[in-house]
């Protein structure tokens, strides 16, 4: 199935220090009152991007991503917000030496001194893609050893990727993604768990077609929900929404609906403030595909998943994508992503759930002439959120926006 890593891997080209210019795009008519502002972030190397962020408190956030080093090879990137500014943190690169690409795609912090980031790294010489996990102990980042069910074989199409992580405590983290091998050509869902001392693979169900997990949220060590995509078996490369739930003993696939008139649907993010309340976001294509990508939000009420009504932003063109969501409570969620206009220029997007409906929020677009994207969001409270991403076309730089 094409595009397996499109929700996680981004290109690495050229970058510079982000200026604190705030260029507010015109918000959609009827947008909810909100104050999102751009924060100045460091942009090391070439084309740095921030893929995810986790804020255990209103004054502590950690964002992760990647940038191109002097050789143009992908290197890990972590930045920390301590209440007044962002600063780069030194991170290890297991595939150092100019022979590998390193990229964390997700991060979860149970406290300011306990964060876990996951992703992958690939050794270009051998073509092996291996899972990556790094842990912050309050003073430094260190690589953790992770299982690689698909990482012991050559060929760029085989390997192990971790794309989401959730840590309800310092001694419990769950990471999700996919793996494949020559014996298992199709990518299979993958879940790994950290028990405070080591990572171990947990058994999940496998579709006879492509299936992978993109995100996970754990309200406790015994209650996790992971979302992703499973091939619909049409042979056209189209996917359908996938959800699996951990009850403390095993993972089980959940029935999850798709919008009417659907051709394909994808889930990129999930947030569960309690075991009985989860919100997942992504996008879907209508049949025929002429309407392009439309925003998708689904909610777990403790017994079933329900599609929530959500409109594409006014003035959007052929693409609207929700890439991340954060819910500090069952009645407060913020989802972020991007949409394009009729000229195919991408703009940042934020949507807020107030317990009964979704509404657009106006967000700044410092790269409004060449494109702005938000990939991850974290809200430590209903009134404070931080979102991260990238802006600029080809020579993109890091982007962080704060809502208060």
Residues 19-76 have pLDDT tens digits of 232 223 333 434 445 589 999 999 999 999 999 999 999 999 999 999 988 877 889 9
Contact at 8 Å (CB) between 351 and 360?
A: yes
Q: Show the CA angle centred on residue 221, arms to residues 219 and 223, nearest 5°.
A: 50
pLDDT at 310: 93
pLDDT at 393: 64
User: Dihedrals φ, ψ of 108, to 5°?
Assistant: -140, 130
Question: Other C-beta atoms within 10 Å of 144: how many?
Answer: 16
Q: Which helix (H) or strand (E) holds 288?
A: none
The number of CA neighbours under 13 Å toward the Cβ of 282 is 28
* Measured distance CA(347)–CA(313) in Å, rounded: 10
pLDDT at 72: 75
Instruction: Report residue 279 CA to chain centroid gap.
Output: 14
Contact at 8 Å (CB) between 201 and 191?
A: yes
Model confidence band, residue 127 (pLDDT cutoffs 50, 70, 90): low
Any residues with CB less than 8 A from the CB of 322 and at least 6 apart, and which?
268, 269, 281, 282, 283, 295, 296, 297, 335, 336, 337, 349, 351
Give the bridge partners for 75, in sequence order.
67
Residues 338-367 have pLDDT tens digits of 999 878 889 999 999 999 999 999 999 997
Model confidence band, residue 230 (pLDDT cutoffs 50, 70, 90): very high
* Measured distance CA(352)–CA(169) in Å, rounded: 27
Question: In Å, how far are 158, 266, 354 from 339, measured between CA atoms?
Answer: 32, 16, 22
* Measured distance CA(271)–CA(81) in Å, rounded: 22
Give the three-class secondary structure for 293: strand
Model confidence band, residue 291 (pLDDT cutoffs 50, 70, 90): low
Mean pLDDT of 199-215: 88
The number of CA neighbours under 13 Å toward the Cβ of 247 is 7
Q: Where are the domains of the chain?
A: 15-44+311-404
* Measured distance CA(333)–CA(382) in Å, rounded: 8
**pTM, full prediction:** 0.90
* Measured distance CA(301)–CA(293) in Å, rounded: 26
pLDDT at 162: 96
* Measured distance CA(54)–CA(379) in Å, rounded: 8
Residue that is written with structure tokens 């992504």 in the block? 282
pLDDT at 384: 97
Output the average pLDDT for the chain: 86
Closest residue by Cα to residue 191 from 158, 160, 233: 160
pLDDT at 218: 98
Best-predicted range by mean pLDDT (6-15, 185-194, 326-335, 389-398) = 326-335
pLDDT at 50: 98
pLDDT at 155: 45
Residues 235-257 have pLDDT tens digits of 666 789 999 999 999 999 999 98
Lowest mean pLDDT among 99-108, 153-162, 208-217, 394-403: 153-162
Mean pLDDT of 253-282: 91
Model confidence band, residue 394 (pLDDT cutoffs 50, 70, 90): low
Residues 303-344 have pLDDT tens digits of 999 999 999 888 787 789 999 999 999 999 999 999 998 788
Mean pLDDT of 106-118: 98
Mean pLDDT of 148-172: 80
Lowest mean pLDDT among 74-78, 293-297, 300-304, 392-396: 392-396
pLDDT at 209: 73
Rg, the chain, Cα only: 19
Closest residue by Cα to residue 338 from 388, 382, 278, 288: 388
Q: Which two tokens stand for residue 372?
A: 């702005």
């Amino acid at each position: 199935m094409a595009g397996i890593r499109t929700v996680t891997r981004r290109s690495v080209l050229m970058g510079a220090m982000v200026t604190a210019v705030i260029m507010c795009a015109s918000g959609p008519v009827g947008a909810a009152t909100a104050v999102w502002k751009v924060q100045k972030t460091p942009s090391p190397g070439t084309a740095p991007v921030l893929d995810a962020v986790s804020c255990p408190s209103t004054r502590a956030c950690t964002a992760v991503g990647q940038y191109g080093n002097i050789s143009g090879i992908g290197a890990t990137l972590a930045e920390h917000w301590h209440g007044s500014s962002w600063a780069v943190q030194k991170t290890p690169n297991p595939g150092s030496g100019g022979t590998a690409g390193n990229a964390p795609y997700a991060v979860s912090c149970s406290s300011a001194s306990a964060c876990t980031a996951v992703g992958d790294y690939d050794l270009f010489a051998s073509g092996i893609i291996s899972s990556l996990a790094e842990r912050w102990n309050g003073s430094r980042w260190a690589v953790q050893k992770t299982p690689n069910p698909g990482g012991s074989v050559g060929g760029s199409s085989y390997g192990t990727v971790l794309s989401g992580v959730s840590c309800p405590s310092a001694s419990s983290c769950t990471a999700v993604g996919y793996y494949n091998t020559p014996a298992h050509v199709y990518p299979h869902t993958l879940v790994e768990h950290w028990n405070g001392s080591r990572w171990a693979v947990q058994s999940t169900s496998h579709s006879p077609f492509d299936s992978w997990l993109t995100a996970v949220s754990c309200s406790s060590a015994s209650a996790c929900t992971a979302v992703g995509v499973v091939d619909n078996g049409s042979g056209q490369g189209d996917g359908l929404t996938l959800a699996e739930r951990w009850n403390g003993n095993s993972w089980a696939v959940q029935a999850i609906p798709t919008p009417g008139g659907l051709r394909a649907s994808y889930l990129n993010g999930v947030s569960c403030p309690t075991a009985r309340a989860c919100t997942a976001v992504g996008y879907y294509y209508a049949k025929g595909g002429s309407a392009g990508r439309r925003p998708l939000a689904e909610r777990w009420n403790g017994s079933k998943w329900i599609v929530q009504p959500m409109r594409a932003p006014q003035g959007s063109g052929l693409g609207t994508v929700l890439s991340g969501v954060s819910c500090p409570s069952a009645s407060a969620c913020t989802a972020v992503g991007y949409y394009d206009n009729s000229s195919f220029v991408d703009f940042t997007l934020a949507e807020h759930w107030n317990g009964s409906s979704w509404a657009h929020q106006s967000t700044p677009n410092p790269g409004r002439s060449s494109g702005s994207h938000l990939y991850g969001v974290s809200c430590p409270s209903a009134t404070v959120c931080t979102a991260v991403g990238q802006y600029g076309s080809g020579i993109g730089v890091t982007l962080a926006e704060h809502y208060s």
